[in-house]
Structure 1
Amino acid sequence: MTATLIGTRIRERRLALGLRQIELARVAEISAPYLNLIEHNRRKIGGKLLVRLAKALDTDVSLLSEGAEARLVDELNSAATADRMAQAETARIDEFIGRFPGWAHTLAERQRHITALEHRVAALSDRLGHDPVLSDALHEVLSKVSAIRSTATILAETDDLDRNWQDRFHRNLDTDSAELARTSAKLALYLDARENPQRNRLTPQDELDAYLDATGHFLAGLEQGGTLDETPEYADAAQMERGVRDLLISHLEQYARDVERLPETSFVALLEGSQLDPVVLARRAGVDLGTMLRRAAVLLPRSGGKETGLIGCDASGAFILRKSHDSFVPPRFGAGCALWPLYDALAQPSVPVQTLLRLNDGEETFMAHAVATVDYPRGLAAGRNVRSYMLVLRDEDRKAPRRLVGTTCRMCRVNDCLARREPSILTVSFDRERANENTPANND
């Protein structure tokens, strides 16, 4: 079995024929950049696309596909050499793949999973041991805690302490505790931040979020229609670890269905001369509201110039989709604010929810449109599948009543919130009544 990969063979054949990449790409009905990725073995290829390339190169498909198992051979070699105590017969890998292809792919998949886990553990270890921001913040927190402890001990154990010294120590306590609160808040915000997504990709959901954020959640290959497994996005998914791959393929399937129901050209035509009311637009387009919210989140920045956020959750409230608005960022860990319309919608599936919001740490107001969709993919007996989606748009009407919300309880300053489930780590807080906020009824 040769170790030459398909992309390399395609490139060799193209050069032998004196063709340029752009010429071959045009005949094969793909873009030149995508062909470049194929030729450098950075995209898997097969099916109709391989047939078109073979035809364009005037060669047999089998001559190009020879060596398609090279990656599998490399992965099995990696698995064999990873355990030095094992004595795998690496010279007979070709025979093993030929006789037991299913086991070969299973073993390679396990090796990819182990490698990914090792990388995540290494990333966590590196972050704890070498992150200068985290190290400095923890050092400052420990220093302030020690200073507060020392001052408190002096005050508690010295009975005849002069009043002037008592006042001085009390001032020190107040200053050190305030600095400790500020440092702790900065540390919490840093740990929740997404400025460095590569460092923070610790779960399959993190990997999915990073992939979608890199594309702006607009998947150009799927917008063209056609067969899902021939798109660049599907090829990207095929290269990923199984957990991430499954999540991404599920997202791609939903995205493809949304494109089929509401293409970009149809969405743009709907917006002409119309107010941005997702319920009205969904009725005019003949699609369900969930589809409209998902398409609006992706297409409005392109056609309407409006920044959008989109948050999705399952029936348990766990996030399944996070498209952040610059000023409305869902937390990476834990649940969001229980007062979000996202969760209101779960209580009344298929009923539209529309609410004006204001974040507790700013003056910006947002219009949130939410709906929970219900599906029975395996029949009634297997139970229903509920998904809730919330589209977030900036709203300029600051005079209207609005619901005061946070991102998550840990980072919320409202100390009398009726939905609080855990204490806030932020010391600066205010009462809901003092903020003069109202919680309007939902506009269905």
Structure 2
Amino acid sequence: MTERGTPSVLTGTRIRERRMSLSRRQADIARAVGISPAYLNLIEHNRRPVSADLVARLAEELDVPAEELAEGREEVRIAALREAAAHPVAAGLTPELDQVTELLARFPGWGQVLIAHARRAGGLEHQLVDLSDRMTQDPYLLTTLHEVLSAVTAVRSTAAILVEDGEISDEWRRRFHTNLHEDSQRLSLTAQALVAYLDSFEAEGAASTPQEEVEAWLASGAPASDAGQLASDAARGMAARLQADLADDRAILPDQALADAVTNPEARADPVRLAARLDLPLDLVMRRLADLRPAGYEGAGLLVCDGSGALTLRRAASGFPLPRPGDSCALLPLYQALAVPQMALVRDVVTPDGRGFRTFSHATRSQPRGVAGPLLTTARMLFTPIDGPAPADALAIGPACRICSRAACPARREPSILVPQSTQTGPTQRDL
């Protein structure tokens, strides 16, 4: 899963320059090529190697020949100036677009100044949109703010009792002091986590939740030595548990055993038959296929959700628009599997940009606390790219409704910012 390669270290810088010249967000580009925004951020800052295959996918998404990402600085600068001229702030002005090349040749310094200002303005615009979105919709931020307010209220209430006139027994005074100590510690730890989280907003494309931190770490190849470098304690804990789970899966189904099993054509095409051939649980086989990506499953990805539909793990596949936690497409076969546990569902899907994927979904139920305990449901969706055009009967899916370009979607639950509202469809009042 780790993207390896030997291109120049400056390739990341050139990828960033081209993206900025098009005023494209890191999150949008990353989703389109099947990696996380945090991993693309590392690539653009030359902190991760990038394979020739990933360069090709990025070049396709950025509408530029792959060679230019490695060698074409001048083309990137020309594109940046053209994009600056097309910005709404230049409305009514008539820049000499046919003289861009001459401008860069005669006044390279001024050209760089103009490009730098345009990029800075574009970056600030995107950051403003991203911050607005996070401040109003980010569940991690809202929960952390609630914890801060709760701790402050508890400390204030306990302190008010202690300063009131009247006798308080020694036993109750000790209790109040203990509560005050515990609540103040909770406030301190939560405030530190909040400050660190808000600081991460300054890094474009930085992972915004512990789960996204871990997913970015997975996308980089999940090297054990890097797990301790994750920003938050919660992310480090999640990564440690995930590493342990992956190690357990590999111990039960070693890489070589899985690679040998998929050499059988029938088993390779059907995970149910593959699991039967290996005499192992289907959910384990699905996890291992997404982890190892053997022959027939190159570029595979995996989505996992709990019974509420909340995504608990996202592993990217090339070109698949990863749904955001808490805000994904209701048409994903992953959610259909929740309604029919223990039954395998196979469905071809097509993304808004026409890319096809074969999906394999399966849900399981468990009672970890015995008969008297709760019944838990977990669904998994393994997906692999389809070579060539998507089948005509493929299910049309998309990212979250708010950023989906499909106007006529029966599952739309909120207007899209990408298409006119007058053309959008969704559930009627009778449906609701």
Scaled by the length of structure 1, the TM-score of the pair is 0.48
Indicate the structure whose relative CO is greater, using CA pairs within 8 Å and at least 6 residues apart.
2
Scaled by the length of structure 2, the TM-score of the pair is 0.50
In terms of Rg, which structure is larger? 1
